[in-house]
Amino acid sequence: MSLLRCAALLLVTLSLIACQSSEPEPAPTPPAVASSPTEPVPEVEIADHILTGGTVITVDPDLPEGEAIAIKDGRILAVGSAEDITAYLGETTEVIELDGRTVLPGFIEGHGHFLGLGDALMILDLMPTRSFQDIVDLVAEAASDAEPGEWIVGRGWHQERWGDSNEATYDGVPHHRSLSAVSPDNPVVLFHASGHASYANAAALELAGIDGDTPDPEGGKIVRDENGEATGFLRQAAQLAVREKLAEAFEDMSEAERQAYFERQVELAGAEALRHGITSFHDMGTNFADIDRLKALAESQGLPVRLHVAVRHETNEDLRARVADYRMIGHADGFLTVRALKRNIDGALGTHGAWLLDPYADKPETSGLPQTSLENLRETAEIALEFGFQLNTHAIGDRGNREVLDMYEDLIGDRADEDLRWRVEHAQTLHPDEVPRFAALGAIASMQGVHATSDGPWVPQRLGEDRARERAYVWRALLDAGATICNGTDVPVESISPIASYASSVTRRMANGEQFYPEQSMTRMEALESYTIGCARAVFDEDEHGSLMPGKRADLVVLDGNPLTVPEDQLANLQVEMTWVDGELRYQRKDRD
């Protein structure tokens, strides 16, 4: 079975529900380490690597910037002026001239899907499509190369990116007829960019047993035409029947094929992360079987970036029985941590699945689609407390966020001294009453800067202008209220680029040139902190990562410009030149002028 076909199968199982200069002076005091005149002068260590001749932004107020950085044994030895750092220069030291470039802490992807990223790089990429016909054309081409009966899988379409359609639409999406006409012999499933909906052709619907008489499942909707026929658009839990049929084909793979595919997932996802300057990745999340594979790979030094994995796709019964055996912190020399559980309370705004306090402005018959009962979610939370796990809950709508914060307050309100750092993933729509509750509860707001600018053109349609302005993507309000924000992209929902998400966080400028409620923008330093030390705090890792201070892991990125000083219109054009993990150069840009 080809890797492309395997990608289609495994994706569903994962989706259910980043100068040498002059001779050194004798025994100087290391620049980033304080010492009093009465103390003996410490012996200076010799660095393995020195990066010098640029700007080093530490993201630490005690030593905000330097010109050079010294690395030894995978950790930061010192940061200071170029002259100071020559104290650590020895015969074996590798010296890298920065030539004015900028060194930052390695970017931390605060919310993504690591194996899903690997999958997305092996199936049809629908993110560039700008019409339903574009999708039909891509599927037609894939069908011409496919064997009869083989699944065709893609991801990344969004109906709000399409222009006007010549066909009738249902919840904004055409009927599957034209898609089915070009793929009569192959089941097709195309995942929405958000992951909260799918689009299926006639062959896939038939395999899943979905027709005009099939009732909507709890937490989902089968979109139908005026005659009651399924259009192929499946929202939230309505996707499961098709996804389960897709998963059945995966059972035909041998264990060797599954392992080879898994390793390819990790290889592709890791390369994409490193290319974008990402050194750590918060994965949301993975089942026990794949955690076993990740652990084995980590122990053989096979993980390209550090992973913080949340356990997902397991029942509460299985969590209670097994999760204690999977808790690990800094396993395999800091490359694998499993200390969080991931759950979803609602869906996405784009598919009218986010759970709102009031009905959608453009679909007043609904206020969203809750994805689990509050009782079930509370049971997961109690398991997290019992076994020492964080709880990371997806909540996008203002009702979803209120329910999650109410539950957090009920369970941990009197345990704040335990520093649990439970998280709310996305927190996209917040009633003003909820904003101060994050800091009060010690809850992390895990938000994705790029979502605001990609969603911005249609968010006012969903919420109405007043509600959108007051409640949508309110980063400034959260920061002013003392909350910690951990930034990211939700890759493969969006491109993994931290630079694009950083620029969105600062400018809130959409593709059409307009700004999406710029009063909620972050400052440049706040945005940088949200991608470094903020995300490190979100996984209890601030003593090891997130800033460039002596003793911390040497995870860093080199950019061709300074994100704190380049003109605003150039922020999104910054390029990653190098990515270092554990003091090792793991990516270097090849096309630098």
Beta-carbon contacts of residue 143 (< 8 Å; ≥ 6 apart):
152, 182, 183, 185, 186, 188
- CATH number of the domain where residue 404 is located: 3.20.20.140
Q: Do residues 51 and 172 both lie within one domain? A: no
Residue 407: pLDDT band (50, 70, 90) is very high
Q: Which domain holds residue 51?
A: 19-105+546-593
Residue 417: pLDDT band (50, 70, 90) is confident
Is the confidence at residue 7, as pLDDT, over 60?
no
Q: Do residues 384 and 494 both lie within one domain? A: yes
Is the confidence at residue 19, as pLDDT, over 70?
no
Residue 339 included in any domain: no
Q: Which of 2-16, 167-181, 210-224, 419-433 has the highest mean pLDDT?
A: 419-433
Helix/strand/coil for 178: helix
Q: Which residue, of 216, 250, 284, is where some domain finishes? A: 250
Residue 53 included in any domain: yes
**Listed range (32-41, 309-318, 389-398, 497-506) with the worst mean pLDDT:** 32-41
Mean pLDDT of 230-249: 90
Is the confidence at residue 34, as pLDDT, over 90?
no
Residue 340 included in any domain: no
pLDDT at 37: 42
Q: Do residues 354 and 501 both lie within one domain? A: yes
Q: Do residues 95 and 129 both lie within one domain? A: no
Q: What's the token pair of residue 100?
A: 């004015």
Pairing of strands 423-426, 390-395: parallel
pLDDT at 14: 38
DSSP assignment of 86-121, as one string? GGG--TT-EEEE-TT-EEEEPEEEEEE-HHHHHHHT
Q: How far, in Å, CA of 465 to CA of 474, rounded?
A: 14
Phi and psi at residue 463, in whole multiples of 5°?
Answer: -105, -20
User: Checking phi first, is residue 143 left (phi over 0); if not, alpha (psi -120 to 50) or beta?
Assistant: alpha
pLDDT at 40: 55
Residue 192 included in any domain: yes
In terms of C-beta density within 10 A (0-12 exposed, 13-18 middle, 19 or more buried), how is residue 379 classed?
Answer: middle
Percent of the chain beyond pLDDT 90?
80
Residue 111: pLDDT band (50, 70, 90) is very high
Q: Do residues 236 and 384 both lie within one domain? A: no
Q: Which helix (H) or strand (E) holds 390?
A: strand 390-395
pLDDT at 248: 84
Q: Which residue, of 231, 250, 269, is where some domain finishes? A: 250
- CATH number of the domain where residue 182 is located: 3.10.310.70
Q: Which pTM was predicted? A: 0.87
pLDDT at 196: 85
Q: How many CB atoms lie within 10 A of CB 69?
A: 29
345 contacts 402 by C-beta, under 8 angstroms = no
pLDDT tens sequence across 428-482: 999 999 999 999 999 999 999 999 999 999 999 999 999 999 999 999 999 999 9
Residue 218 included in any domain: yes
pLDDT tens sequence across 202-213: 999 999 999 989
Residue 486 included in any domain: yes
In terms of C-beta density within 10 A (0-12 exposed, 13-18 middle, 19 or more buried), how is residue 495 classed?
Answer: middle
pLDDT at 41: 53
pLDDT tens sequence across 281-311: 999 999 999 999 999 999 999 999 999 999 9
Mean pLDDT of 489-500: 96
Q: Do residues 371 and 514 both lie within one domain? A: yes
Pairing of strands 220-224, 173-174: unpaired
pLDDT at 38: 46
Q: Do residues 377 and 441 both lie within one domain? A: yes
pLDDT at 42: 64
Q: Respond yes or no on whether the N-terminal peptide bond of residue 492 is cis (omega within 30° of 0).
A: yes
- CATH number of the domain where residue 69 is located: 2.30.40.10
Residue 36 included in any domain: yes
Q: What is the mean pLDDT of the chain?
A: 91
Q: Do residues 456 and 575 both lie within one domain? A: no
Residues in the chain: 593
Q: Do residues 502 and 362 both lie within one domain? A: yes
pLDDT tens sequence across 323-363: 999 999 999 999 999 999 999 999 999 989 999 999 999 99
Q: Do residues 79 and 134 both lie within one domain? A: no
152 contacts 124 by C-beta, under 8 angstroms = yes
Number of domains in the chain: 3
What residue spans of 187-239 are helical by DSSP H? 202-208
Residue 296 included in any domain: no
Is the confidence at residue 33, as pLDDT, over 70?
no
Q: Do residues 382 and 416 both lie within one domain? A: yes
Q: How far, in Å, CA of 525 to CA of 482, rounded?
A: 15
Q: Do residues 579 and 509 both lie within one domain? A: no
Helix/strand/coil for 398: helix
DSSP state of 428: -
